[in-house]
A and B are shown apart, each in its own frame.
Chain A
Amino acid sequence: MNATVQKINRRGFLKAGAATAGGLMLGFHLPESSQLRAQDAASDAKLNAFVHVGADDTVTLYLHKSEMGQGVVTSLSQLLGEELECDWNKIRTQFAGVDPAYGPLMGTFGSMSIRTTWEPLRRAGASAREMLMQAAAQKWGVDSSRCRAENNAVINTATNERLSYGSLAEAAAKLPVPGKVALKDPKQFHLIGTSPKRLDTAQKVCGKAEFGIDVRRPGALYAVVARCPVFGGKVASFDATKAKAVPGVKQVVQISSGVAILADNTWSAMEGRRALQIQFDEGPTANSSSATIRKMFADLAEKPGAVARKQGDAPAALSGAAKKIEAVYEAPYLAHAPMEPMNCTADVRPDSCEVWASTQIQTAAHGTAVKITGLPPDKVKVHTTFLGGGFGRRGGDDFVREAVEISKAAGVPVKLTWSREDDIQHDLYRPASYSRYAAGLDAEGWPIAWTTRISCPAFGGIKDGVSRTAVEGVEDMQYSIANVLVDYHDADTGVPVTFWRSVGYSQNTFFVESFLDELAAAGGKDPLELRRRLLQKSPRLLAVLNLAAEKAGWGTPSPAGRTRGIGINNNIGSFTAQIAEVSVTGGKLRVHRVVCAVDCGHVVNPHIIEQQLQSGIVYGLSAALKGAITIDRGRVQQQNFNQYDVLRIDEMPVVEVHIVPSQEAPGGIGEATTPGTAPAIANAIFAATGKRIRQLPIRAQDLA
C-alpha cells in the first residue's frame, strides 16, 4: 500500500470537523478491508483521517473509526504517536466527520481497525515528525540530520536545545510533505507493544463520555416508534387521540416503519406509545415460528446444496470408512443487545440535515439521510459519538432512517430512543443455523472424510449459491482431512439478519470443534492429540493450541470435580485456542476458568488485547449458556433481559490470556475469542457427563 499524506487547508479542516485552524494539519487515507485487499491505489486520494499538531502542543488524531469499547482511540493513537514521538499525555482524539469523498464505505467492522491502519497511521506520524524536524532545523540553521524528535519536541543533538512541537507547528505547516519517509524498525518501538492508559477511560468513569443517546439539541423532541411486532408487517390504521392526551406528548406522525410519538421527554413518549391505538397488517410471515423455521432448515438439509468446499471424494471415502459418525448441530437466532439501546438524533431542515448517531457505518448513515431528505450529499452531516457497544448491530441504518424520517415529518429536531424491548424484538439477528455433519474414520480411528451441509439464512450476498457469512468456519476449516465436502442452502425465513460478533464463525466454530471432539471420542483419541495431528499444516494455530494446552495443564489432573474442553479458531487474521475448565454438579454448570492463547501478529497494546479476548469470551458465554431468540406467530418472544439474559459477574470465570510474540502483520482481535468459547465449554461438559451438546444454548436437560 502506498499511503499518501497531504497537507490540509482550512477547507480540509472543516471537513474533518476541526474546531480550530492553524497549526500543522495532515490528511491521509485509511483504507477499508476491501481496499486493503485490492491494494487500491486510487483510494489514496480520498483523505479520511487527519492529524493536527496545535500551537498548544497537543496532537489530535481525527479518525473515522468508531470507538465501541475495542480501544481504537488508544491503539490507533499508539500507531501515530510511535512515529510522531508524541508525549502520550498530549494526544487527543476526535471522531472525524463523514464526507462523500471518503469513499464508498466508511465504518468499523470485521475487526479491521488495526489491520487497515497499521502502516498508514505510522506513515502519517512519520511525515509529521519529519516536517517538524525540518522546521526546527531551519530555525537553528542546521541540517535536519542534526535533529531528533522525542516526547513532543525536536532536540538539536549538537546543542541539546529543544523546541516543542507546538512552537514548530506553524512553521512546519509551510513545508512540503516529504515524499517518502522511513518507518522505524520494530526493535525501536517504545509505544507500540506497550499498554499506556486508555485515552477514553477518564471520561467513562464520570459520566462525561457522550454516547448517541446522550446527545441534546436545542428544541429537540424525544421520540419512540410503535412498530408492527411481526417482521414484514405494516401499520393498518391508528388513532392518536389517546396518545396525544398523555401529558408531554406533542406530535404523532407516521413513518415507514411505524408510528412515531414525539414528546418533551422520552418517558412521556413511551407513555404515549402505550396509549396509542394501532392496528397492524401482519403480513406473510405472521404464522411462522421457531418450529416452522427449523422444519424449513431440516427439509432443505435433506438435499444436496450449493458446494462451498470440495476436496477429494468425501461421499466415497465416507461409504468406505471403517467407522461413520453423524450428527445434527443447531444454533438459534441471537440478538446483539448492546448496553446502549438504538437511538439517533436528527435535525432535518429545508436546506440541511444533521445526524448524531452511535453508528458503525457512517457512510450508511449519511447515504440514508441523503436519500430521505433529498438534499445534496454535502448538506448532510453525520456526527459520530461514542458507541455503547456495537457487536455488528450498529452497522444497521434502521435507527438513523427512523430519526431522519421523524424529524422530516415533524419539522423539529428529534432524539429517537428505542426501548430495550424494541431492541430485542426489532434487531437484525444473528441467523439461526441447522447443519448436518458426517465423518468417516479409518481403521486406526483417524478421520478420512468430512461432510457438512448447512441450512442458514444468507446475508451480505451470495456467490455461486453460497453465502460466505453462513459457511465461514467450516469452508475454511484448518484441519487436514483428505476428503471434505461442504454444501449450503439459503433459507428465507422473514427474520431480518445481519453481522453478529464473529459472524458465521459464531455458529460454525461451535459445530466444527464439537464434531471434531466427537471424532476423537469415536476414534479413541485424546482431543488435543487429534487436533495436533490434523494441524500440521497450520503452524500458527498449532502453536496457540500447544500454548493453551500447556498453560491449562492439559494431560495433568484437573482440580477435583472439574473437566476440560478445547475450542480453537482462526478468523480475522488471528489464531486462538481456548481451554475451558468446568464442573457439572447436580445438574448445575459452572465455568471456572478459561485459558486462552492468541497469535494476533504484531501486538500494539497487550492490555487492550487481553480486554478484547476476555470480552469475546464473555460474549460467547452469554450465547452458549443463555442466548436464544425464538419466534412465535411471526414475532420474537423475548422482550428484555429477564427473557434474554446475559452473563453476570457471579458467573464470570477466571480468564487467563497468553499472547504469542509475533512479527507477523497484525490480525484482528475484537471477534477472535467469541467462536471458540461455546465448543470449549460443551466439550468440557462432555468430558464431565458423556453427553454431547449439539444445540445452543446449553439447556438444563443437557446437564442432567
Chain B
Amino acid sequence: MATIKFTLNGKPQAVDVVPQMPLLWVLRDTLGMTGTKFGCGMALCGACTVHINGQPIRSCSMPISGVANKRVTTIEGLSSDNSHPVQRAWIEEDVPQCGYCQSGQIMTAAGLLAKTANPTDADIDEAMHGNVCRCGTYQSIRKAVHLAARYMAAANGKVPTQASNGNALKTAQGGAQ
C-alpha cells in the first residue's frame, strides 16, 4: 500500500492503495466516482478515458502511481452543469443511445478540441478511433464534435472562417469521404 497524492477535478486528493492499482478502479471503487466506465481493461475501447494533465488517457491501464502529483480530470469534472461545449453539443445532437461509452467519447473529444480548435473529419477519426460505441453513434459524434468546435469558437469570440464553417456544415450533413 502507498499513499498517492494527485489533483482530481481541481481538488487535492490522496488515496492509500496498492501502487499498481489502475486509476480506473481507484476512481470507481475507492472514490465512488462511477462516471468513468470499465469496458475492456486493456486500453482497447476508450470507455475509461480521463485527462491527465489535459491529455486523454485510458485509466484502465494507468497505474495509480503514474498519476502522482498530476492533474486528473474525469467526466464529473468536465463541468458541474453540462456547460462544457462538448456536453452542450452532445445534448444538442442527442448523441447518446445506451450512453455507456459516452463519458469516454466526450473526454476524448474534449481532448481533441483543446489542441485542434477546428478539426476535420480525418482529425476526428484519428483522435476517436480508439473509442468504441456498440450502439453506433459515430455519425452523431462527428456532427457533435464539429458543433462543439463552433461553440468553442463562438465563446472565444472567433467566428469560424467561411471555409471551415462550410466544411463543418458539409460534414454535418454526412459528407465524409
A-side residues, CB < 8 A to B, are 67-71, 195, 197-198, 200-211, 213-214, 216, 222, 247-248, 264-268, 270, 337-341, 386-391, 417, 419-421, 592, 607, 611, 614-619, 622, 640-642, 646-650, 652-656
Contacts and interface: CB of A to CB of B under 8 A. Distances in A.
Contacts of A247: 1, 18
Interface residues of B, number: 65
Nearest to B91: A201
The residue in B21, B87, B139, B177 that gathers the most chain A C-beta atoms within 10 A of its C-beta is: B139
Contact of B137 (A211, A268, A387, A611): A611
Contact of A206 (B17, B47, B76): B76
A530 to B, nearest CB: 29
B57 interface: no
B124 A649 contact: yes
B91 A205 contact: yes
Contact of A341 (B28, B39, B175): B39
A649 B141 contact: yes
24 contacts: A204-B99, A204-B102, A205-B96, A206-B35, A206-B76, A207-B35, A265-B17, A266-B29, A337-B134, A339-B37, A386-B99, A388-B99, A388-B101, A389-B100, A607-B94, A614-B137, A615-B136, A641-B42, A642-B44, A649-B138, A649-B142, A652-B136, A654-B139, A656-B174
Interface in B32-84: 32-42, 44-45, 47, 74-76, 78-79, 82
A614 B134 contact: no
Contacts of A654: 139, 174-176
B106 interface: yes
Interface of B: 1, 17-18, 21-22, 25, 28-30, 32-42, 44-45, 47, 74-76, 78-79, 82, 87, 90-91, 94-103, 106, 124-126, 128-142, 174-177
Given A198-B94, A265-B25, A654-B174, A341 B87 contact: no
B125 A339 contact: no
A195 B102 CA distance: 21
Contact of A205 (B32, B82, B129): B82
A419 B139 CA distance: 28
A389 B130 CA distance: 18
B39, B75, B79 — most chain A CB neighbours (10 Å): B39
Given A206-B76, A265-B25, A655-B139, A391 B134 contact: yes
Given A213-B37, A389-B98, A205 B139 contact: no
Contacts of A618: 133-136, 138
Contacts of B100: 211, 338-340, 388-389
A435 B76 CA distance: 51
A138 B78 CA distance: 51
Given A207-B34, A607-B94, A617 B136 contact: yes
Nearest to A222: B29
Nearest to B104: A339
A168 B165 CA distance: 50
Given A265-B25, A266-B28, A201 B174 contact: no
Given A198-B94, A266-B25, A615-B136, A641 B106 contact: no
Contacts of B91: 197, 201-202, 205
A201 B98 contact: no
